[in-house]
Amino acid sequence: MSETIIRLENIGVAFNAQLRVGSPRFWALEDVSLELARGERLGVVGRNGSGKSTLLRTIAGIITPDRGRLKRAPVSCQLLSLALGFMPHLSGRDNAVLSGLMLGLRRREIMQRLPAILEFSELGDFFDQPISSYSTGMTMRLGFSVAMQVEPDVLLIDEVLSVGDAEFQQKSGDALRERIHSGTTVVFVSHGDAQIHKVCDRAVWIEQGRSMMQGPVDAVLAAYHAAPPISPPPTGP
Amino acid sequence: MRLHLVELILFSTYAELRAERARSYLGLLWWIVEPAMNMGVYYLVFAVIFRIGGQDYIPFLLIGLTLWQWFKSCISHGGYSIWQQLPLIRQVKLPLQVFPSVQILADTVKFLCILAILLVALWSTGYPPNVAYVALLPVLLVELIFVSACTYVVAAVVPLVPDLRFVIEQVLQVIMFLSGIVFSLDGLPPALRRWFELNPIVELVDAGRGILMRGEWPDWFALGRVGLISLALYVFGSLLITRLTPRYVKLPT
């Protein structure tokens, strides 16, 4: 068994439901426990609103749990975010630098990778035009190309496995699959059984903010589909 | 890690200024035209219509407004920066001091442009450069720390209480009138003026006017006191942002 790099023990995360004095808090995660080992590819399954995205952002360190224990080895965790911090009036090139800096790259590193970003995004002369002149697909191509330059120890993916038009979907999907299978530790949230099967070697099932089961992909998916949906719990204090 | 943040702040400032240029037809000209119009309004109302102040009123007003505008624009822009970036903050882990710092830097660049024009205007109207200009650097440095400190505190609180946005502009307006920006505080009884001088802006604007108009050295003791208070407030503001960061991501979208 390889080294555990992230361990969640009975984690709970509460949000403010409304900007009102005394408004009740809503527990997006009630009680989640899981372990992530180095090099592992963990799939997260669950229905809409079960807390999968909150779980990813908790693992990323963006959200601090309100209860439970979270232990993380000194590893970098990055949510795969496209077009992070993009500003419409700036050129594709400037946005690539800005987004790269926000994702934790040094400026020197981004400068070295600009040719690769330009090539992968297939933007050509548009690279030096303001992205407000881009189509949605072009912005996504740029966003994806920048995001792929970051190489965190743990890559966190929320549904997105490919972006853009059919051709770029193939290309971006291939690039991401290559990254996933290159030994990076991955946590992958998805609704698609087929994708979880293809990508992950273990899975965890989240239902109403609770971790119901974790283990081999087949067993977890079978249990998940066999269970009737649980009605939402009342919002606690 | 630290160097990476410096790079992020510097590049974001550049991006901010660039984007601002692209957002209007006159672009960078607005950096100068907008404060000039603002100064023109005050000049018209107070100097022309109400005939306040003596012969030195115009430089008095211009220096006061230039230093005040720096403070005000940092609060108005930087104070809302964390609140405006909440969607981004939910996506990536960053020290949130970055966002107000970018706005403070961008507004400081604009302030320096206006200051340069102000200096030329002063020189050409009979207020030549003098040896006390050396003291401008520490005065501006202390103001920068003070401005940053106030901006951090506002930026930390606004996301939790967005309603403050409706109050801040009015509060700033009151502070401006209480800080001797358009009216001289010299007419106040000395006992009352002592209270007014507890306001760091009064000290800083007084020091600026003394240097630029009369070649006077600032009151170093008072400047040092304002500097220390500002530094303490800056540390407090920064700690407050760090302390409150876990709460920002949990606010309703």
Asked whether A174 and A142 are in contact (CB, 8 A), the reply is no
- Distance (Å) from the alpha carbon of A131 to chain B's nearest alpha carbon: 11
Helices first, then strands: H and E counts in chain A: 7, 9
Contacting residues of A for B7, CB less than 8 Å apart: 101, 106-107
Amino acid present at B99: F
| Residue A131 to residue A121: CA distance in whole angstroms | 13
Name A79's bridge partners: A156
pLDDT at A19 (0 to 100): 76
pLDDT at A236 (0 to 100): 46
Classify residue A139 as exposed, middle or buried by CB count within 10 Å of its CB (0-12, 13-18, 19+).
buried
Q: Is the pLDDT of residue A237 over 50?
A: no
Classify residue A25 as exposed, middle or buried by CB count within 10 Å of its CB (0-12, 13-18, 19+).
middle
Instruction: For residue B97, give Cα distances in angstroms to A89, A232, B9, B33, B244.
Output: 24, 38, 10, 30, 11
Q: Which residue has the higher pLDDT, A167 or A161?
A: A167
pLDDT at A212 (0 to 100): 92
H or E segment and range at residue A109: helix A107-121
Contacting residues of B for A97, CB less than 8 Å apart: 11
Asked whether B201 and B184 are in contact (CB, 8 A), the reply is no
pLDDT at A161 (0 to 100): 67
pLDDT at A193 (0 to 100): 85
Task: Provide the angle, in degrees to the nearest 10, between the axes of the packed helices B200-214 and B98-123.
Answer: 30
Q: B54 — contact with chain A (CB < 8 Å)?
A: no
Amino acid present at A39: G
DSSP state of A73: -
Is the CB of A90 less than 8 angstroms away from the CB of B19?
Answer: yes
Is the CB of B246 less than 8 angstroms away from the CB of A19?
Answer: no
Query: Among all residues of chain A, which has the CA nearest to that of B86?
Result: A85
Is the CB of A84 less than 8 angstroms away from the CB of B91?
Answer: yes
Q: Which pLDDT band, with edges at 50, 70 and 90, does B70 fall under? A: very high
Query: Among all residues of chain B, which has the CA nearest to that of A56?
Result: B91
Other C-beta atoms lying within 10 Å of the C-beta of residue A1: 6
Q: What is the pLDDT of residues A208-233, one digit of tens each?
A: 999 999 999 999 999 998 887 666 55
What ipTM was estimated for this complex? 0.87
Give residues 163 to 202 of B whose Cβ lies within 8 Å of A.
none
pTM reported for the whole predicted model: 0.90
Instruction: For residue B105, give Cα distances in angstroms to A227, B6, B137.
Output: 55, 12, 16
Strand ranges, E, within B77-153 = none
| Residue B148 to residue A151: CA distance in whole angstroms | 34
Ramachandran assignment for B204, one of left (phi > 0), alpha (psi -120 to 50 degrees), beta (any other): alpha
Q: What is the mean pLDDT of chain A?
A: 88
Is the CB of B92 less than 8 angstroms away from the CB of A62?
Answer: yes
Contacting residues of B for A79, CB less than 8 Å apart: 91-92
Q: What is the pLDDT of residues A3-37, one digit of tens each?
A: 899 999 999 999 887 777 777 888 999 999 999 99
Report the candidate in B108, B178, B118 with the shortest Cα–Cα distance to residue B143: B108
Q: Domain ranges in chain B?
A: 2-248
Q: What is the pLDDT of residues A69-119, one digit of tens each?
A: 999 999 888 888 888 899 999 999 999 999 999 998 999 999 999 999 999
Task: Report the SS3 class of residue B101.
Answer: helix
Q: Which residue has the higher pLDDT, A201 or B99?
A: B99
- Distance (Å) from the alpha carbon of A155 to chain B's nearest alpha carbon: 13
Task: Give the mutation candidate from A58, A62, A114 for the B interface (greatest B CB count, under 10 A).
Answer: A62
Task: Give the mutation candidate from A26, A102, A132 for the B interface (greatest B CB count, under 10 A).
Answer: A102
DSSP state of A81: -
Q: What is the pLDDT of residues A172-188, one digit of tens each?
A: 888 888 888 888 899 99
